[in-house]
Amino acid sequence: MSRATYKNNPTPIAVNRITFDIKNITDSYDVLDKEGIYFEFNNKDAINTDYKQLIIGPTETPYEGGFYFFNAQFPDQYPFHPPTMKSMTQGGGVRKHPNLYTCGKCCFSFLGTWSGPPWTACQNPKTIASSMKSVMTEFPLENEPGWEKIHDERQKTYARLIKFFNLKWGVCNIMENIPDEFLCFKDEIHKNFIKNYQSYDKVLSEYEKLDGVKEISPTYGFSITYDYTLVKKRLERLKKMYILPSLSDLKSKVPDTHPKKDVAVVNTLPKEDETVVNTSSSNVVNVPCKPIRKSPKESAKDYEVGTIKEGINNQKFVVSLFKRGDKYYKRWFPYKE
């Protein structure tokens, strides 16, 4: 078999197979969404062999909720050769996984970059992503040859280092500045951040007593300083920008402005343009009222999540997401410095 080329000049067979795989993946979006696997293909005008991949780190592992980007390219002879793959989520010179090098190299036998079962024509981008995610395990160092049966403190040390890498570089860095080439995934990133925030906060709490401590990896020659306080502040800032306040939080911010005797107003935060009626008193006069709009006049849906603008009386508001049913919507919410 001839060697693979990656010149964005696919053969007719490759075009047909790429088209088939893209359609199959597009039709499987809901299933892949639940698995935390996303793709972006550049095939709007014509077949382009480049594509992008996002893997959300699996639960109960050091990678939980992290955003792991990959640049990929189909070979011109696809499916008889595997795509190329480069890991793009990097930071601090950290080797985040035995199979994922700091230079971006991805070592897997099905990609032809490691020994073992080779690529077969029945494989596709979905099987590649699923296989890559499957090695993001509780103790990643077990994937390094020679370390499979070593179950000592070194395994725990490496896992602890990668947990912090995940929060600092795999979550905070990405949320604060999504790389331009991966902005195609911004909605999925924001959605998963909201979904996994409590997990981030819980994991980070494990490092409070290690604040400022520098730990050296048992292999790969890197170290990490656990700057807990800084990462905590970054996460809290991101929470204010992207997480919908709870109803109890919103109620606590509403001033107590009960009217005079025999008139009552519901002590909740009304929706914009919503009529407020109270029936909690035996001596009640129902008072239809239209709340004063304090948020910016512009519609929140026209802005990116996290956008901060001033409303009436110079009060700041931020665009946040809230879930209704299975869908997410944008809305202005008070922003507190």
Residue 315 lies in a domain: yes
- The answer to whether residues 200 and 294 belong to one domain is no
pTM over 0.85: no
Please say if the pLDDT value at position 256 is more than 90: no
- The answer to whether residues 28 and 172 belong to one domain is yes
Boundaries of domain holding 217:
12-242
Active-site annotation, residues: 107
End-to-end CA separation in angstroms for the chain: 62
- The answer to whether residues 294 and 192 belong to one domain is no
Q: What token pair was written down for 131?
A: 């296989």
Write down the pLDDT at residue 118.
96
| 24 close to 124: Cβ distance less than 8 angstroms | yes
- The answer to whether residues 108 and 172 belong to one domain is yes
| 174 close to 190: Cβ distance less than 8 angstroms | no
Positive or negative, the Cα torsion across 229, 234, 239, 240?
positive
pLDDT tens track for 11-40: 999 999 999 999 999 999 999 999 999 999
| 2 close to 77: Cβ distance less than 8 angstroms | yes
Write down the pLDDT at residue 174.
98
Burial 225-237 (b: 16+ CB within 10 A, else e): ebbbeebbebbee
Phi, psi of 52 (to 5 degrees): -125, 150
Percent pLDDT > 90 in the chain is 67
Q: Which has more confidence, 42 or 248?
A: 42
| 37 close to 126: Cβ distance less than 8 angstroms | yes
Q: Number of structural domains, the chain?
A: 2
Mean pLDDT within 127-137: 98
Phi, psi of 152 (to 5 degrees): -135, -165
